[in-house]
Amino acid sequence: MWVWFHKLGSPPYFYRFSTIVLPWLAVLTLILFSVGVVWGLYIAPSDYQQSETSRIMYVHVPASMFSMSIYMVMAMASAVTLIWRIKLADLVASASAPIGAAYTFIALITGSLWGRTMWGNTYWEWSDPRLMSELILFFLYLGYMALNSAYEDRRRAARAAAVLALVGVVNIPIIHYSVEWWTSLHQGSTTRGTQFAATIDPSMRYPLFVMMGAFAMLYAQLLLKYTRCLLLDGERNNAWVKEMVKQHAA
């Protein structure tokens, strides 16, 4: 297992490995998305209280769930970058940031659309702690990407951005609790997402799980693809890249 993991750190090996894995991931993502979308948006029953708008859940819940996890992936890859200086870890972190930002953005948009039916006639509710945390997470992603692209030298950019990602990871729980405290001052706690998920009916739970799987696979696929792009860009002067391009051209 460890040997394989170390091998994966070597750029040519990673490139070959991802070439094999990617088509399978693509098929899996496609299947999961088609099943999840049809099941969630057409077959699953609509909520008796929220009617059809509850179907936004099938996009919103996975997106917001993975927006947090992707930051964790980014932070772990950053720690690996700082400690062991593995080039690939830095690329994984850099590639995760825009995907995570996109997931966060989707979560924000769907959340405010969904919230409109629950909050009344507003798209934005400052007193919802999860919405606030998500917004701040979005800012953190943007800051990370800004710093990462500000450096010309790739290796320094990697390490500077890694420090920022780790600082952010320490801050996320503090931000989360401060936002929660702040919003609880303004009004009683809003509908709890976790309770909602626990009491959710199986007829809605299973399509939700499928959609979660679909979003996870989509992330894995985009991550591999983007990492490959960054890898080729960074290693364009190395022998194995030149050889591969030659083979492709032939």
Partner 1 sequence: MRHALLILLKRDLLLAFRHPNDLVNPLIFFLIVVSLFPMGLKPDSQFLPMMGSAVIWVAALLASMLSLDNLFRSDMEDGTLEQIGLLPWPLSALVTIKVLVHWLVTGIPIVIMAPLLGMMFNIPPEGIRALMLTLLLGTPVLSLIGAIGVALTVSLRRGGVLVSLLVLPLYIPVLIFGAGSVWDASLGLAIRGPVLFMGAILVLALTLAPLAIAGALRISLE
Cβ distance to partner 1 smaller for residue 170 or 198 = 170
Stretch that binds partner 1, among 4-12, 101-109, 151-159, 229-237 (CB under 8 A): 151-159
Query: How far lies 146's CA from each of 53, 91, 176, in Å?
Result: 35, 15, 23
Is the Cβ–Cβ distance between 111 and 193 less than 8 Å?
no
* Helix axes of 129-150 and 87-119: crossing angle, nearest 10 degrees: 150
Stretch that binds partner 1, among 9-17, 34-42, 108-116, 160-168 (CB under 8 A): 160-168
Amino acid at 247: Q
Amino acid at 184: S
Which stretches within 45-86 are classed as H helix? 57-84
Asked if 224 interacts with partner 1 (CB under 8 A), we say no
Q: How far is the CB of 177 from partner 1 (least distance, A)?
A: 8
User: In a 3-state reduction of DSSP, which class is residue 170?
Assistant: helix
Q: How far is the CB of 146 from partner 1 (least distance, A)?
A: 5
Across 12-22, b (16+ Cβ under 10 Å) vs e yields bebbeebeeee
Q: How far is the CB of 207 from partner 1 (least distance, A)?
A: 34
Q: How far is the CB of 77 from partner 1 (least distance, A)?
A: 17
Q: Rule CB under 8 A: choose which of 38, 43, 163, 229 binds partner 1.
A: 163
Q: Rule CB under 8 A: choose which of 1, 3, 20, 170 binds partner 1.
A: 170
Asked if 174 interacts with partner 1 (CB under 8 A), we say yes
| Angle (nearest 5°) at CA 245 between 243 and 249 | 115
Q: How far is the CB of 247 from partner 1 (least distance, A)?
A: 37
Cβ distance to partner 1 smaller for residue 152 or 202 = 152
Is the Cβ–Cβ distance between 100 and 168 less than 8 Å?
no
Residues 93-132 as x/- pattern, contact with partner 1 by CB under 8 A:
----------------------------------------
Query: How far lies 34's CA from each of 28, 30, 38, 207, 210, in Å?
Result: 10, 6, 6, 11, 10
Q: How far is the CB of 92 from partner 1 (least distance, A)?
A: 19
Positions in 71-90 near partner 1 (CB under 8 A)? 82
43, 66, 114, 68: which is closest to 220 by C-alpha? 66
Site residues (vs partner 1, CB under 8 A): 82, 136, 139-140, 142-143, 146-147, 150-151, 156, 159-160, 163-164, 166-168, 170-171, 174-175, 178-179, 181-182, 185
